[in-house]
Amino acid sequence: MRVAAIYDIHGNLPALEAVLEDVRQDTVDLLVVGGDVLPGPMPGETIDRLQDIGISATFIQGNGDREVLAVLAGIESAAVPESYRPVMAWVAHQLRPDQVQWLESWLPNVTIDVTGLGEVLFCHATPRSDAELFTRLTPEDQLRSAFAGLTTSAVVCGHTHMQFERRIGDVCVLNAGSVGMPFGAPGAYWLVLGPTNAQFRHTAYDLSAAAARIRATDYPQAAEFAANNVLNPPPEERMLQAFTRASRR
């Protein structure tokens, strides 16, 4: 079993399309979509693309997906900043009922036997939470409880949009990075596991064309997304320091 993991697409359909082309060329047996397909500028179109993916796939729900579903359920989440709630409402109301039903069916995590690596747990953030922050610099003693009691050899996560590999206790932890909202060099980041190791991947795509497609949507923050998440993402070092500080609170 050879597995590709893609995380944090955030409605960036052009980035997803480019990664799927690379995934097909990699001849994987299974694709894990690790959550936070939403929110983002092309939500309905992105879900349509995943529903017609043409690859054996399993889907995990991320905190962003969960918060979009909460909007549709009439729940006002304290985790969503008030300034961002109109954006979440716009995203939620782009979805058809069948798309919502499919999103609701996604699991919080999955365990897969990967050839050469053994059982691997795929979750969005940590095994116990879809929103818990940690980075490659977060002290291990803060994270032991989040990864305690696991019987898997490795954990694959996303959520903080930066690729890394580290050990927490006896567990190898890999962050797949972000397809649609990377930090650092522009492009789309993902991960392949098996048959004997894990390989971090980066897919380049036509950023100018992607930005134009995003700006042409009705997404309330289309121009900002195109500029700050596609053409000129935030520097990884800046976000690494910010997220590490946040993980210590």
Can you give the pLDDT at residue 124? 98
Beta sheet of 164-168, edge-to-edge order = 109-114, 118-123, 154-157, 171-175, 164-168
Q: What is the CATH number of domain 3-247?
A: 3.60.21.10
Q: Which residue has the tokens 């609170």?
A: 249
Q: Is the pTM of this model over 0.85?
A: yes
- Taking only the tens place, the pLDDT of each residue in 188-230 is 999 999 988 899 999 999 999 999 999 999 999 999 999 999 9
Can you give the pLDDT at residue 196? 84
- Taking only the tens place, the pLDDT of each residue in 103-151 is 999 999 999 999 889 999 999 999 999 999 999 999 999 999 999 999 9
DSSP states of 15-27: HHHHHHHHHHHTT
> Higher pLDDT residue, 115 or 73?
73
Picking from 24-28, 183-187, 206-210, which range would have the lowest pLDDT averaged per residue? 24-28
Can you give the pLDDT at residue 248? 80
* Average predicted confidence (pLDDT) for the chain: 96
Average pLDDT for 176-190: 98
Q: Which long-range contacts (CB under 8 A, 24 or more apart) does 196-204 make?
A: 196/115, 196/116, 196/117, 197/116, 197/117, 198/117, 198/154, 198/165, 198/174, 200/163, 200/165, 200/176, 201/22, 202/177, 203/15, 203/18, 203/19, 203/22, 204/18
Average pLDDT for 30-42: 98
Domain boundaries, the chain: 3-247
Can you give the pLDDT at residue 249? 72
